[in-house]
Amino acid sequence: MELFDSKYFFYSDNKLYCEEIPVDDILAQTGTPAYIYSKKFFVDTFKELDSSLQNIKHTVFYAVKSNFNLSVIKTFSDLGSGVDVNSEGELYRVMKLGINPKKIILSGVGKTANEIKLALETNLLMIKAESEEELVLINEVAKDMNVIAPVAIRVNPDVDAKTHPYISTGLAENKFGIDVSAAFKFYLQKEKFGNIEFTGIDMHIGSQITTVEPFVSAVEKMAEVFLKLKSAGLTLKHFDLGGGIGVVYHHEKTFSVKEYADALIPILKKLDCEIFIEPGRFMTANGGILAAQVQYSKKNHDKNFIIVDAGMNDLIRPSIYAAYHHIQPLEINPGRKEIIADVVGPVCESGDFLGKARNISELKRGDYLVVMSAGSYGMTMASNYNARRRPPEILVDGNNFQIVRSRETFEHILYDENF
């Protein structure tokens, strides 16, 4: 049985620890399923990325969509990170923390007029626009408010990120951004967008990208556009790289942030502007686990099933795009034989699985297992399907832990329903 561990989640005396705390000590208080995060992972990863870019003027903006727990956002904000939000709800969350509006970017392909108005009222750093009609709407809302809207166009460079189709965003066939030629035209139409100040240019080619080459191709293409706009007399203050740095879920061969920086900094220095970057998954994925308890084990013909109390409502990534998360026991029992089993949840769907055909030690009713690399796009995508309560979130800091979101109650779920 293969074990996935790190200096943040590791085994000692056959028990899994998060930092300095045995995970079963946490579960004794919280129950399962439960998301558990390592604060040290978040801090170390942010610092590693930030320091790799120290030779250029830059700002890291944490992409809130990957994990929007307030304590997680605050951890990054306290380190000096800005935040990238994708909706009114995410903006509400970060404003609740009192984050400086000039450290907030509003993204999203389908912003409503109300979201645009709220962004302008909040005086955010910028709004990223993704279509001509959106530019028109931003201009109209800003005109009605008698303000100038700071805007960057998200330009689609039509570069293949070599990632899963569902998380590819930089191809012409994807819904995101504006193509290069159209964007160039819009940037220069000052008379059409009189209440917009174009402050920069933005790109984002996808998520979970495991080679640096797609970034280089896209940045070279976008840098050419940036310099042409500069030659045409447009002053742009920043160049936004987006996110997408891949992480290791299984045996992926990824690049280091040093390799990333070394490849891009020579191109970026030519632009003579501030560089923005918007990581999410990279800063959170391997900083979290989802713990679950075995309810039953069974066999249908020759197929083994381990049925746990966490399902697709808690972690939907395996179900919607066959995402791999390593699964392993909370406690190693050397005397147990290994089996090949599907690890499945309690939800009434055949697509409710956490992992298929996994080599894992036999587990008995009442045992615990953990789903690794669950710090990103786990809780943010959780639901109440089958009227199941969303799990708690726990943040570990050294030898202390805090429940930073309690398990939902049924009253939470029903609070606004009438009959």
User: Catalytic site residues?
Assistant: 348
Please, are residues 126 and 85 in contact by the beta-carbon 8 Å criterion?
A: no
Q: Report whether the peptide linkage leading into residue 334 is cis, meaning its omega lies within 30 degrees of zero.
A: no
Q: Report whether the peptide linkage leading into residue 279 is cis, meaning its omega lies within 30 degrees of zero.
A: no
In eight-state DSSP terms, residue 409 is P
Q: How deeply is 15 buried, as exposed, middle or buried, from its count of CB atoms within 10 A (0-12, 13-18, 19+)?
A: middle
Strands (E) across 109-148 are located at 126-129
Distance, CA of 403 to CA of 401 (rounded, Å): 7
Enter the tokens of residue 239. 């160049």
Alpha-carbon distance values, 4 to 9, 56, 284, 351 (Å): 9, 35, 16, 24
Distance, CA of 260 to CA of 53 (rounded, Å): 9
Site of tokens 């309560």? 389
| Percent of residues in the chain assigned helix, strand, coil, to nearest 5 | 30, 25, 40
Please, are residues 5 and 248 in contact by the beta-carbon 8 Å criterion?
A: no
Q: How deeply is 145 buried, as exposed, middle or buried, from its count of CB atoms within 10 A (0-12, 13-18, 19+)?
A: middle
Of residues 8, 13, 2, 9, the one with CA closest to residue 331: 13
Site of tokens 């972690």? 315
